[in-house]
Structure 1
Amino acid sequence: MREDRVLERIASVLAAEDEDQLHERMGLAVEALEGEHGLFRIRVMRPPLDPVHHAIRCGPPVRGAGRDSWDDLDGPYAFAALDAGEPEPGWRRHGLPAQLPPITPPSSAPWVAAHHGPGADSVLSIARTQVPRAGSAQERRVADALRLLAGVLHVSVMRLAVPRLFARLAPRLTERETTCLRWVAQGKSDGVVATILGVSDSAVHFHMTNVLRKLGVSTRTQAVAKAMALGLIP
C-alpha cells in the first residue's frame, strides 16, 4: 500500500463535485487501500422526523450476486471495518442487510471506521482478501487511512448527497398550499387567511386538507411543525 497514493485518492474524494465523482473516487480510494469492496453508510437525524439513511457501494460484483448484494461476502473476505452493533432497521430501506455478514477479521486490533458529526453518524466497511498481520505497522497505517477516508466520505456525502435526499423525501406543496400553511403557522384561521388571499373559506380549507394529507399528519399544529422541520416554511 503506497501511502502517497492513498492520501492523494482520499483527498480527491473531498474534492468531488457531484455524486458520480464521489462514487468513482471512493472506489479508487478503496482500491488504493487494497480493498476489493467498499460500503459506506450514513444516517442523518431529523428531529422530530425519521432519520434519513443512505449508502454508497463500490467494487466488482460479489461472486455473481450483483453489485448491490453483500450477502455473499464470506469465505476469503475479511472486513477492515465492522459495525459496533446492529444498525437501525432503516438500513434495510436501501437493500442492505440489517447487519454486515458475520465475518471476523483475523486481527485482534480494532478496525473501526466510524464517523460522528452533528446530527449524523456513518460507518465505512472495506473487504480485503489480504489482512495485515496483527500489531504490524502496516495494520496501523491501513487503520489510520481507513478512519481518514471515513471522515472524508462523511463530509462529502453530507455536502453532495444529503441535500438531494432531503429534497426527494420532502412532499411537494403547491404555491397556494405553502402560502396558506405560512399564514396558519402565524395563528390565522381559515376565515382570516381567506380574507387575506381574497378567496373563499372553503378554498383555504381545501388547500389545508391537502397539506395535511401530503405531510401525513392529522392536525394543523403537526403540519406546521413538520413543514418547519422539512424546511418547507421558515
Structure 2
Amino acid sequence: MNNLNMFESLLDCKTVEELHSSTTAIAREMGFEHFLYGVQVNTSLTRPYRFILSCYPDTWRKHYDEEGYANIDPTVSHCAKTSIPIVWKNEIFKGRKEARVRSEAKDCGLVSGASFSVHGGCGEAAMLSLSTSRESREAQDDILAVMGKAQLLTCYLHEAVQRIVLSKGPVPLKKINLTEREKECLLWAAEGKTGWEIANIVSISERTVTFHLQNAAQKMGVVNRQQAISRALSMGLIEPHTIL
C-alpha cells in the first residue's frame, strides 16, 4: 500500500473503533508508538465541543487532565495559533511548569514526538500529536524524516473524524452559509445596535433586519439574537472586516 492509499484508508472507516485501530497502525508504521488527536469546535464561547481519539497511556491522560496541563502545554498553544508543525524539543518547554509537563510525559513513555494542527472551515481546530519512547539523535532524525507524512495523516484523520463524529455530534459540524446581509446585521447587532438602529445604518426596514437575524439564527441552530451573535463569532462566520 502506498502512502496516499494508506491515509485514504482512514476515509473508509465507519466507526470510531475502526478509525482508532487504523490510526494506531499507521502511526506505528511511521515509527510512533502513541498518538493523540483532539478537535475543538467552537459551537459556544463558553462550552465548546471537544472530541479526542487517543492511544496515549491512560495514566498520563488522566493525570494530564486532572492537572490542567492543556492550559500550559506549549504544543497545545502552538497548534492553536498556527498550522506549522512543532517538534518536541527541551527549549520549547522553557518555564518550570512546562518543564514539569515534559518530564512527567517522559516518565509515561512519551519521550520524543511532534505535534501537528489543522484548522477547518467551520471554525474547528484540531491537533495530532505523535510520540515514541525513543530518545536519541536518531529518533529526532526519524521524526524529521516523516514530518510531511505526519501532516498528511493529520489532514486525513481530521476529515475522517468530521465524517464519523462531527457530522453527527451534539451540534453537527456543517458548512453554514450566511448571506452578506445576514452577516451585516449580525455584525451591527454584535456592536449592540437595536433593530431600528441597524435598519437605519444599512437602509432597510426594521422588519427586514429581524427577518435576516432570524434566518441567521435558524441556520446556526440557535433560538435568539444573543446566541446567534455568539455562535457566528465563535465559528468565524463574521469578522470585523466584513463591512469594510
TM-score by length of 2: 0.48
Larger radius of gyration: 1
TM-score by length of 1: 0.49
